[in-house]
């Protein structure tokens, strides 16, 4: 099955943050569909896993089944631009689950403060 890479977004790291990284990329795919529309008929935006000496890692790509067809380059270029804009607009560090959960704990302690 042919495929072409579009890119990535977020700052999650494998293997310790694999679930978070996959979530970031899924958000990226949803954003691309909103901004660029769905891919042309016969193509699919997918999370693609790559094998590397240091471990496997995912990126966003487009795949298709008919190997006689070429990649939809105009759509891919639009997606690359949109994904870059999306990635630069999101403060990934601020919304990481452990950061938000830490904030829950701080607010709970503040709510339980007997001096108030």
- DSSP letter string, 38-55: SPPTTEEEEEEEE--TT-
Q: Give the model's pLDDT for residue 11.
A: 94
Q: What percent of the chain has pLDDT over 70?
A: 96
Instruction: State the Cα–Cα distance between residues 11 and 87, nearest whole angstrom.
Output: 9
Contact 58, 49 (CB under 8 A): yes
Q: Tell me, what's the pLDDT at 58?
A: 96
pTM confidence score? 0.88
Distance CA 114, CA 116 (A): 5
pLDDT digits (tens, 9 = 90+) for 33-83: 999 999 999 999 999 999 989 889 999 999 999 999 999 999 999 999 999
Q: Is 92 within 8 Å of 17 (Cβ atoms)?
A: no
Domain extents for the chain?
A: 3-90
User: Which residues on adjacent β-strands are paired with residue 48?
Assistant: 59
């Amino acid at each position: 099955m042919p495929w072409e890479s579009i890119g990535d977004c977020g700052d999650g790291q494998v293997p310790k943050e694999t679930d978070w990284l996959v979530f970031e990329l899924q958000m990226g795919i949803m954003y691309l569909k909103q901004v660029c529309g769905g891919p042309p008929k016969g193509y699919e935006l997918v999370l693609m896993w790559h094998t590397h000496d240091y471990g496997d890692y995912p990126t966003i790509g487009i795949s298709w089944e008919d190997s006689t067809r070429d990649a939809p380059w105009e759509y891919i270029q639009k997606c690359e631009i949109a994904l870059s804009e999306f990635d630069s607009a999101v403060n990934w560090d601020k919304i990481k689950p452990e950061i938000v959960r830490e904030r829950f704990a701080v607010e709970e302690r503040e709510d339980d403060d007997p001096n108030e």
